[in-house]
Amino acid sequence: MTKRSTAAAVVASIVAVAAGVSVYASEQAPLDGSAFVENSVVTEPQPEPEPDPEPVPVFLPASEPAPIEDGSVAYRNDFSTQGDAERIDQFVAYRDPFVVNHTVGVSDHAPMDGSNCTAPEETRPQTRESPAEHVYHCFPGGNAEAGHQMAFAMDSSGYGFVGALPDQVFEGVSEVSVDINTTSAGRRNFIEIKVVPADNVFVNAMPCIPDLPCNSGWDYSDTEGVGAGTDSLNGTGLKIATPAQPDGYVFDRDNEVELPNGDRRFEPCNANAICFRTHVHDGNTGIRDRYQHVFRDNGDGTLSFGIERDDGAFDWVEAPGAFPDGPVRVIVAFHNYTGTKDDNGPGFESNLSPSAGGFTWHWDDLTVMADATTPSLEYFGGVSADRIVTPPGCIAFAQGQRTVTHGKDVLPLLHCEGDAPLDL
Q: What is the C-alpha separation between 188 and 153, in angstroms, rounded? A: 11
Pairing of strands 88-94, 394-399: parallel
Does residue 93 sit within a domain? yes
> What per-residue confidence (pLDDT) applies to 5?
36
Does residue 292 sit within a domain? yes
Q: What is the C-alpha separation between 307 and 305, in angstroms, rounded? A: 7
Does residue 35 sit within a domain? no
How many of the other CB atoms lie within 10 Å of CB of 343? Answer: 12
Does residue 181 sit within a domain? yes
Domain count, the chain: 1
> What per-residue confidence (pLDDT) applies to 44?
45
321-375: per-residue pLDDT in tens? Answer: 999 999 999 999 988 877 777 777 776 766 667 677 778 889 999 999 999 999 9
> What per-residue confidence (pLDDT) applies to 223?
86
Does residue 423 sit within a domain? no
Does residue 194 sit within a domain? yes
Element (H, E) at 394: strand 394-399
3-state secondary structure of 40: coil
> What per-residue confidence (pLDDT) applies to 372?
94
Does residue 281 sit within a domain? yes
In this structure, what are the phi and psi dihedrals at residue 423, rounded to the nearest 5 degrees?
Answer: -90, 95
Give the range of the structural domain holding residue 124, as residue numbers without chain letter: 67-416
Does residue 59 sit within a domain? no
pTM: 0.81
Q: Consecutive 10-residue runs of the chain (424 residues): their mean pLDDT?
A: 37 41 34 34 46 37 54 90 94 82 85 91 90 93 92 79 95 95 75 93 81 68 88 68 88 87 88 61 69 95 92 91 97 84 72 75 94 96 96 93 82 94 89
